Amino acid sequence: MLKVLLKKQMTEVFRGFFYNRKTNKARSKANQIVLFSLFAFLMVGVLGGSFTAVALGVCFGLTSAGMGWLYFVLMSSIAVVLGAFGSVFNTYSGLYLPKDNDLLLSMPIPVRTIIVSRLLNVYLLGAMYSGVVMLPTMIVYWVIVGAAIQNVICGIVLFLIITIIVLILSCLLGWIVAKISLKLKNKSFIVVLIALACIGGYYFIYFKAQIWIRELVANASVYGTNVKDSAYGLYLFGRIGEGDLIATAIFAAATALLLALTIFILSRGFLKLATSTASVGKVKYHEKAVKEKSVFGALLAKEFMRFKSSPNYMLNCGFGVLLLPVLGVFLLIKGADILAFLGASFGGRTDFAALLLCTVLMLLSTANDMAAPAVSLEGKSLWIPQSMPVDAKTVLKAKTAMQLILTLIPMLFAVICAAIVLQAPIAEKLLVCVLPLIFAVFSAMLASYMGVMRPVMEWTTEIIPIKQSGAVVIAVFGGWGFVALFALPYLLIGQIIGLVPYLMIWAVIYTAASALLYRRLITKGSKAFSRL
Amino acid sequence: MLRIEGLTKTYGEKKAVDELSLHIRPGEIYGFIGHNGAGKTTTLKSVAGILGFDKGEIFINGSSIMKNPVECKRQLAYIPDNPDLYDFMSGIKYLNFVADIFGVSSEERQEKIRKYADVFELTKDLAQPISSYSHGMKQKLAVISAWIHSPRLIIMDEPFVGLDPKAAFKLKEMMREHCDKGGAIFFSTHVLEVAEKLCDKVAIIKQGRLIKSGTMEEVRGDESLEEVFLELEAE
């Protein structure tokens, strides 16, 4: 039974690697290899590489001070935080929201078996994130201190323990999110607020981490003694990495017990949570006068309703709505000092600071990509726009307009703040403000076009179109690529032609590219939408 | 009202609909019956302008669905076999959305919502999110949304599935009333007794091909529709 369910889960998780979601046909071997290589590069090369650098920076200092255990406590903490925060919402949607919950619950399958198969998804995701921290951590330790057989075995057990801790934390947090979702009226916004608080905390820790790590390494013996005295459990935990068999046995047993307890508790509450729709009070209908909307207005309002109904959608595709005003306020408070510092760093040249400001504004606008999954999110409701007397291009325009509104308004605030603090000639100031606005239009066109050309119409959880579709990947990473394409050549040709002509050239390029994408969206994109 | 001429639709190698021709006049309730996978849904979706087709033509009041899809869709309403509506909306928001798209005035939509929501006993649930609706409630909402813009032609795929007996009875009354006022209805069903009692005309489709059509009397003769259908299926 479990084997069949696991196979179903795994097929769903890795389906994108083996099947083209658009055509639903099997990918060629070469295509599969390219996809897996790209994924491996991202995980091993980029993430693994950066954590290897962190491990190298910390390991030698701590192990030579006889604080190897502190090294493992530190790196394990990073792994747990990364793994747990990375999968909270996946746990919630993966455990409680899949569309096949009802089907599986109606079958003669024990609830516990369904949970275990679902948990495997969460486990793999958590293991992946914690693995990019823990594997370099252990390898660096084995290289520097030595890879005795006992160290290797205990190191592997430590990694397994961490993956289980991540799983338990994810389940706990996912369960809290599920509970909140059932109890609250405006749950989408509350869930988004909680998530933002978590993300805020995460980044606070991330930015402070370097200072803390430096401090820790510099005063390793003091901190080490304090931790050992006040939190002996942490010391024991760190000892696992150093090959302490007793510590390994204690923590392995405790973790196994916790895992069994988690599955037991989840099994008890799962049925209720997975089958509940809402326990909030019933909203009473009162007839009231309605304001008629135009076709476009109605479609746009529908897009906004969808957006604000889903925490996943808001968090993953609308982060720019928050980031841009935050940047604006930050610029008003600290901008003048930072720009002056940058100007001084570049030998008194203000053009680099202006270019950097423009680049940051453009980069933040790529955090908004709500148009990219908008077509995919129609899913099984696609028959509604398709059977209505509406042009496909009007539907696509409404999806694009949502992203434009949600990006251009905060962007306008951010560029006004930028204009206030930037000390530059008027033409330069104007272009630094206008170019990010043009780029936001370009990003929206790109996201919308990709959304209709690479849709994922068959999904069991909305996470798939929101996070894992080709359209979203291209919109986000492609957006970053286009920002890099703008910023980097300045180092070569910008200095020759000057900042104002350089910005003007890019304003023309992005305007032309936006117009071209818009044209393709309403011609080729409309045809593609009608064919879905 | 609806003229289908030589409609052909293939999925890969398989012909889902093969040279199907039908003519549905104003005032007619036209039933469409056939085994599972016979091509009923494909035909209905093609008529509603959701699916493209390979050969043939579909005219709604003389206008081609291929050439003037928006004009055609303005005159029709479609209710699918599984009412996957916008779960993120409340019932009333969905009805207002549909009314906005079809340009129904606020007075007219309010009157119709009042009338049909009362008929289907859905009024008290209109402010609830659609995600909390049962299958039957979604089906009722889909029916109200179809009637809200006074379409001339209504296309329905298994409209009685999920409806309680009272709602099914009311729907049959509404269908008759709609056609008596000059509208037309083309719907698929597996409930042959319903088709027999309700339809003016009926078409039987088998493996994508139309095998029999005409008035109820012409199709069934002295037998019941069930007997005719089973005989044709056995051939």
Interface test with B, best of A387, A402, A529, A531 (most B CBs within 10 A): A387
Interval B53-65 mean pLDDT: 91
Place of tokens 């910008």: A494
- What CATH number is associated with residue B43? 3.40.50.300
pLDDT of residue A23: 61
Look at A387 and B73 and tell me if their CB atoms are within 8 Å. yes
Q: Which of B89, B97, B127 sits opposite A285 (nearest CB)?
A: B127
pLDDT of residue A276: 57
Task: Examine the domain organization and report whether B29 and B121 are in the same domain.
Answer: no
Task: Examine the domain organization and report whether B17 and B63 are in the same domain.
Answer: yes
CA-based nearest residue in chain B for residue A309:
B88
Look at A305 and B93 and tell me if their CB atoms are within 8 Å. yes
Burial call A54-63: b when 16+ CB within 10 Å, e when fewer: bbeebbebbb
Give A380→chain B minimum CA distance, Å. Answer: 6
Average pLDDT, chain B: 90
Look at A310 and B129 and tell me if their CB atoms are within 8 Å. no
pLDDT of residue A188: 67
Look at A302 and B89 and tell me if their CB atoms are within 8 Å. yes
Task: Examine the domain organization and report whether B109 and B173 are in the same domain.
Answer: no
pLDDT of residue A278: 47
Give A25→chain B minimum CA distance, Å. Answer: 13
Interface test with A, best of B84, B100, B108, B110 (most A CBs within 10 A): B100
pLDDT digits (tens, 9 = 90+) for A252-269: 999 999 888 887 887 776
- Residue pairs spanning A and B at CB distance below 8 A: 98
Q: Which residues of B touch A309 (CB under 8 A)?
A: 88
> Does residue A282 belong to the interface with chain B, where contact is any CB pair within 8 Å?
yes
Closest residue by Cα to residue B94 from B129, B64, B63: B129
Interval A494-513 mean pLDDT: 90
Question: Hey, is B21 helix, strand or coil?
Answer: strand
**How far apart are alpha carbons B35 and A285 in whole angstroms?**
41
Task: Examine the domain organization and report whether B230 and B128 are in the same domain.
Answer: no
Q: Counting runs of H as helices and runs of E as strands, what totals does chain A give?
A: 24, 0
CA-based nearest residue in chain A for residue B133:
A277
Taking residue A6's Cβ as centre, other Cβ atoms within 10 Å add up to 15
pTM (global) more than 0.90: no
Q: Which of A289, A293, A391 sits opposite B100 (nearest CB)?
A: A293
Confidence at A439, pLDDT banded by 50, 70, 90: very high
Q: Which of A201-205, A378-382, B4-8, B121-125 has the lowest mean pLDDT?
A: A201-205
Higher pLDDT, A101 or B107: B107
Phi, psi of A37 (to 5 degrees): -65, -45
Task: Examine the domain organization and report whether B173 and B68 are in the same domain.
Answer: yes
Look at B73 and A388 and tell me if their CB atoms are within 8 Å. yes
Interface test with B, best of A25, A188, A285 (most B CBs within 10 A): A285
Is the pLDDT assigned to residue A272 strictly greater than 70?
no
**How far apart are alpha carbons B4 and B213 in whole angstroms?**
13
Confidence at B26, pLDDT banded by 50, 70, 90: very high
Q: Which residues of B touch A295 (CB under 8 A)?
A: 100-101, 103
Q: Which of A194-208, A309-323, A460-474, A508-522 has the highest mean pLDDT?
A: A508-522
Give me the percent of chain A exceeding a pLDDT of 70.
Answer: 88
Q: Which of A290, A381, A387 sits opposite B48 (nearest CB)?
A: A387
Interface test with B, best of A181, A275, A290, A303 (most B CBs within 10 A): A290
Give A270→chain B minimum CA distance, Å. Answer: 19
Look at A387 and B78 and tell me if their CB atoms are within 8 Å. yes
> Does residue A284 belong to the interface with chain B, where contact is any CB pair within 8 Å?
yes
Q: Which residues of A touch B102 (CB under 8 A)?
A: 388-389
Give me the percent of chain B exceeding a pLDDT of 90.
Answer: 58
AA identity, residue A35: L
Task: Examine the domain organization and report whether B91 and B38 are in the same domain.
Answer: no
pLDDT of residue A62: 83
Is the pLDDT assigned to residue B70 strictly greater than 50?
yes
Is the pLDDT assigned to residue A296 strictly greater than 90?
yes
Is the pLDDT assigned to residue A434 strictly greater than 90?
yes
Q: Which residues of A touch B113 (CB under 8 A)?
A: 287
**How far apart are alpha carbons A334 and A417 in whole angstroms?**
11
Task: Examine the domain organization and report whether B67 and B158 are in the same domain.
Answer: yes
Q: Which of A28-42, A306-320, A390-404 has the lowest mean pLDDT?
A: A28-42
pLDDT of residue A97: 66
Q: Which residues of B touch A391 (CB under 8 A)?
A: 70
Compute the Cα dihedral for A178, A183, A189, A194 and give only its sign.
Answer: negative
pLDDT of residue A118: 76
Average pLDDT, chain A: 83
Assess contact for A313 and A373: CB atoms under 8 A: yes
Q: Which residues of A touch B106 (CB under 8 A)?
A: 289-292
pLDDT of residue A416: 92
Interval B204-220 mean pLDDT: 86
Element (H, E) at A194: helix A187-218
Domain range for B98: 84-150
Place of tokens 């510099």: A218
Give B220→chain A minimum CA distance, Å. Answer: 33
Quote the tokens at residue A513: 């590219």
Assess contact for A475 and A454: CB atoms under 8 A: no
Task: Examine the domain organization and report whether B211 and B99 are in the same domain.
Answer: no
Q: What is the largest CA-CA distance in chain A?
A: 77
Q: Which residues of B touch A294 (CB under 8 A)?
A: 100
Quote the tokens at residue B130: 């659609």
Confidence at A22, pLDDT banded by 50, 70, 90: low
pLDDT digits (tens, 9 = 90+) for A81-106: 877 766 666 666 666 666 677 777 77
Look at A309 and B88 and tell me if their CB atoms are within 8 Å. yes
Taking residue B167's Cβ as centre, other Cβ atoms within 10 Å add up to 20
Q: Which of A298, A302, A380 sits opposite B84 (nearest CB)?
A: A380
**Domain total in chain B:** 2
Assess contact for B47 and B2: CB atoms under 8 A: yes
Q: Which residues of A touch B114 (CB under 8 A)?
A: 287
Question: Hey, is B229 helix, strand or coil?
Answer: helix
Assess contact for B81 and B135: CB atoms under 8 A: no
Domain C-terminal end among B135, B150, B165:
B150
**How far apart are alpha carbons A481 and A278 in whole angstroms?**
42
pLDDT of residue A26: 74
Assess contact for A180 and A190: CB atoms under 8 A: yes
Q: Which residues of A touch B88 (CB under 8 A)?
A: 305-306, 309-310
Is the pLDDT assigned to residue A279 strictly greater than 60?
no
Is the pLDDT assigned to residue A487 strictly greater than 90?
no
pLDDT digits (tens, 9 = 90+) for A411-426: 999 999 998 988 888 8
pLDDT digits (tens, 9 = 90+) for A155-190: 899 999 999 998 888 888 777 777 766 666 566 666
**How far apart are alpha carbons B65 and B58 in whole angstroms?**
6
Radius of gyration of chain B (CA): 18
Assess contact for A387 and B83: CB atoms under 8 A: no
CA dihedral A266, A269, A270, A275 (to 10 degrees): -170
Give me the percent of chain A exceeding a pLDDT of 90.
Answer: 27
CA dihedral B113, B116, B122, B123 (to 10 degrees): 40
Looking from the CA of A464 toward its CB, the CA atoms found within 13 Å total 24
Task: Examine the domain organization and report whether B192 and B175 are in the same domain.
Answer: yes
pLDDT of residue A520: 94
Burial call B67-87: b when 16+ CB within 10 Å, e when fewer: eebeebbbbbbbbbbebbbbb
Look at A386 and B125 and tell me if their CB atoms are within 8 Å. no
Give B103→chain A minimum CA distance, Å. Answer: 8
Q: Which residues contact B166 (CB under 8 A, 6 or more apart)?
A: B121
Q: Which residues contact A490 (CB under 8 A, 6 or more apart)?
A: A355, A499, A502
Confidence at A230, pLDDT banded by 50, 70, 90: confident
**How far apart are alpha carbons A86 and A94 in whole angstroms?**
13
Task: Examine the domain organization and report whether B143 and B156 are in the same domain.
Answer: no
Task: Examine the domain organization and report whether B96 and B193 are in the same domain.
Answer: no
Task: Examine the domain organization and report whether B125 and B185 are in the same domain.
Answer: no
pLDDT of residue A214: 74
pLDDT digits (tens, 9 = 90+) for B154-193: 999 999 988 899 999 999 999 999 999 999 999 998 888 8
Is the pLDDT assigned to residue A218 strictly greater than 70?
yes
> Does residue A182 belong to the interface with chain B, where contact is any CB pair within 8 Å?
no
Higher pLDDT, B90 or A215: B90
Q: Which residues contact A77 (CB under 8 A, 6 or more apart)?
A: none
Phi, psi of A276 (to 5 degrees): -80, 145
pLDDT of residue B44: 93
Quote the tokens at residue B207: 């493996």
First CA to last CA distance, chain A: 35
